[in-house]
């Protein structure tokens, strides 16, 4: 389908950070055909009036557990160990594949409404999330989470072979909206022998690895005591960062200078989720250092059980505010940088390298904001307005791969009423069901 957006303001996030006013965008099929001068032979099937609209590249969420929408608000005001041991890993013992489907569908509705078109998911029964990706029209990098402690302690008695079969079946790469990675939970849960098998499988399948890494001082201390190495150095030694595709490591909050150098050298992508860190009192990852050292950092919400929502606008805002405040430096994390961390950096981390800018030939992944509102006036700096002022409720339209997922504030691909109803019933059943602790976290 050919779409012409006429007379909009555009935050291109191109290499020159161009901001265009009263400008046209031509979209042909999956891609942006032209920005500015529209070729005479371009014939749109649909013309969108861009007056009072700001067009921005869509967001990519670099680490989440989307079906955890079902336990949103169920494990509040608890430290990380009690949050996992007493709540999250207990509720998940009662989880069914259908719960995963509806939880991910609810997450997708929420993500689309707040301008996110791509997410890196790390959870169980990933074939269910793959179905949601198919239906919703979003993009995703799906990693089936495994602990490597034996089938009886895995959700749904999953095995590495099962996740390998899923990856083989679903991984398309290239033009597809779906990518797959292997998802060992973390160095603190997974035995070395299991992690070595994961590395072998990643090489065989030619896919990446997505895991949690170095989230606390206690995890580092334990790793030093058990392996004589930090978690980052330990994972490097086991070969987790030498796969055919860069690894995606969530968090890296407690890291040494040596760890940082290693993450940079091995081209590991680090997902940064400041709202989760603050909410669980985990301390802040050194985002500024990541970027100074050339580490590929990208912003992420983490799961809605810790973050409470999937709003990348808020993550972007917090990422900026925390760095400015911690460094006592207002120049830290300028708006253009934050916007890239929420768009192109996440897209790259997930393997969608032609997303993240409104440029000719780029993928048509974009958001339209309604700027005809009090909090958008005056429009001195549109990048600052998106980072520090915009609300998810300002998003009127969202396009992914040239297809509308949200149009005039209505979800196009998902039956939102049904998704909300199913998710609510399942969430109430889940936390009221007979639950038991599946496994134990030790700091």
Q: State the nearest-atom distance from the C-beta of 303 to Zn ion, in Å.
A: 6
DSSP string of 78-93, one letter each residue:
--HHHIIIIIIHHHGG
How many CB atoms are located within 10 Å of the residue 258 CB? 13
Q: At what angle do helices 160-170 and 192-205 cross, to 10 degrees?
A: 20
Among residues 123 and 369, whose Cβ is nearest to Zn ion? Answer: 123
Q: Among residue numbers 277 through 336, which ones bind Zn ion (CB under 5 A)?
A: 302
Q: Which residues pair with 369 in a beta bridge?
A: 54, 395
Residue nearest to Zn ion (CB): 302
Among residues 83 and 101, whose Cβ is nearest to Zn ion? Answer: 83
Among residues 133 and 250, whose Cβ is nearest to Zn ion? Answer: 250
Peptide bond into 331 cis (omega under 30): no
Q: State the nearest-atom distance from the C-beta of 322 to Zn ion, in Å.
A: 18
Contact 182, 167 (CB under 8 A): yes
Q: State the nearest-atom distance from the C-beta of 212 to Zn ion, in Å.
A: 5
DSSP string of 141-204, one letter each residue:
EEEEEE--S-GGGSGGG--HHHHHHHHHHH---TT-SEEEEEEE--TTTS-HHHHHHHHHHHHH
Number of residues counted as binding Zn ion (CB under 5 A): 2
3 state DSSP class of 26: strand
The pair of structure tokens assigned to 290 is 């990541």
Among residues 25 and 318, whose Cβ is nearest to Zn ion? Answer: 318
Q: Which residues pair with 407 in a beta bridge?
A: 410
| Stretch 239-278: interaction string toward Zn ion, x if CB under 5 A | -----------x----------------------------
Q: State the nearest-atom distance from the C-beta of 216 to Zn ion, in Å.
A: 13
Among residues 302 and 397, whose Cβ is nearest to Zn ion? Answer: 302
272-289 b/e with 16+ CB inside 10 Å = b? bbbbbbebbebebbbbee
- How far is CA 313 from its chain centroid? 12
Q: State the nearest-atom distance from the C-beta of 49 to Zn ion, in Å.
A: 41
Q: State the nearest-atom distance from the C-beta of 344 to Zn ion, in Å.
A: 22
Q: State the nearest-atom distance from the C-beta of 271 to Zn ion, in Å.
A: 8
Among residues 213 and 387, whose Cβ is nearest to Zn ion? Answer: 213
Distance separating alpha carbons of residues 82 and 69, to the nearest angstrom: 19
Among residues 60 and 376, whose Cβ is nearest to Zn ion? Answer: 60
Distance separating alpha carbons of residues 274 and 67, to the nearest angstrom: 20
- Helix ranges (H only) for 206-311 are 217-227, 231-237, 257-265, 274-279, 287-292, 304-307
Among residues 68 and 339, whose Cβ is nearest to Zn ion? Answer: 68
Q: Where are the beta strands (DSSP E) in 46-128?
A: 46-49, 53-57, 59-64, 116-123
**Which of 168, 80, 161, 88 has the alpha carbon at shortest distance from 123?**
88
Distance separating alpha carbons of residues 297 and 279, to the nearest angstrom: 20
Q: State the nearest-atom distance from the C-beta of 275 to Zn ion, in Å.
A: 12
Q: State the nearest-atom distance from the C-beta of 95 to Zn ion, in Å.
A: 16
Distance separating alpha carbons of residues 423 and 38, to the nearest angstrom: 44
Among residues 135 and 278, whose Cβ is nearest to Zn ion? Answer: 278
Among residues 250 and 419, whose Cβ is nearest to Zn ion? Answer: 250
**Which of 61, 72, 171 has the alpha carbon at shortest distance from 117?**
61
Among residues 88 and 347, whose Cβ is nearest to Zn ion? Answer: 88
Name the one residue in this structure whose structure tokens are 């993450």: 263
Q: State the nearest-atom distance from the C-beta of 252 to Zn ion, in Å.
A: 12
Q: State the nearest-atom distance from the C-beta of 318 to Zn ion, in Å.
A: 16
List residues binding Zn ion (CB under 5 A).
Answer: 250, 302
């Amino acid at each position: 389908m050919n779409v012409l957006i006429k007379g909009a303001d555009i935050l291109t996030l191109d290499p020159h950070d161009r901001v265009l006013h009263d400008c046209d965008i031509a979209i042909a099929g999956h891609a942006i055909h032209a920005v500015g001068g529209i070729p005479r032979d371009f014939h749109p099937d649909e013309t969108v009036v861009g007056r009072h609209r700001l067009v921005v590249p869509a967001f990519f969420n670099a680490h989440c557990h989307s079906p955890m929408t079902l336990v949103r608000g169920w494990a509040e005001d608890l430290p990380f160990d009690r949050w996992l041991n007493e709540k999250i890993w207990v509720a998940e013992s009662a989880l069914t594949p259908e719960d995963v489907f509806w939880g991910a569908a609810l997450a997708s509705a929420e993500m689309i409404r707040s301008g996110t078109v791509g997410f890196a998911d790390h959870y169980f029964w990933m074939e269910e999330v793959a179905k949601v990706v198919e239906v919703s029209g979003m993009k995703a990098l799906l990693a089936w989470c495994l602990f490597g402690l034996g089938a009886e302690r895995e959700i749904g008695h999953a095995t590495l072979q099962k996740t390998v079969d899923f990856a083989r079946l679903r991984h398309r790469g290239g033009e597809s909206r779906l990518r797959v990675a292997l998802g060992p939970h973390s160095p603190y849960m997974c035995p070395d022998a299991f992690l070595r098998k994961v590395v072998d499988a990643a090489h065989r399948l030619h896919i990446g690895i997505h895991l949690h890494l170095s989230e606390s001082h206690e995890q580092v201390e334990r790793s030093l005591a058990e392996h004589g190495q930090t978690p980052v150095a330990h994972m490097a030694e086991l070969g987790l960062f030498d796969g055919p595709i860069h690894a995606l490591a969530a968090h890296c909050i407690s890291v040494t200078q040596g760890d940082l150098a290693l993450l940079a050298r091995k081209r590991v992508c680090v997902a940064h989720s400041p709202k989760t860190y603050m909410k669980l009192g985990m301390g802040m990852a050194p985002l500024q250092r990541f970027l100074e050292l050339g580490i590929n950092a990208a912003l992420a919400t983490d799961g809605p059980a810790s973050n409470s929502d999937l709003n990348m606008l808020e993550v972007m805002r917090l990422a900026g505010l925390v760095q400015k405040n911690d460094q006592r430096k207002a120049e830290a994390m300028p708006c253009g940088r934050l916007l890239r961390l929420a768009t192109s950096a996440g897209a790259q981390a997930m393997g969608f390298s032609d997303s993240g800018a409104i440029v000719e030939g780029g993928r048509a992944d974009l958001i339209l904001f309604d700027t005809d509102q009090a909090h958008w006036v005056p429009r001195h700096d549109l990048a600052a307005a998106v980072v520090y002022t915009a609300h998810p409720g300002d998003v009127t339209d969202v396009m992914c791969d040239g297809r509308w997922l949200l149009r005039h504030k209505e979800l196009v691909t998902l039956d939102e009423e049904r998704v909300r109803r199913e998710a609510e019933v399942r969430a109430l059943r889940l936390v009221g069901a007979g639950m038991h602790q599946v496994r134990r976290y030790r700091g």
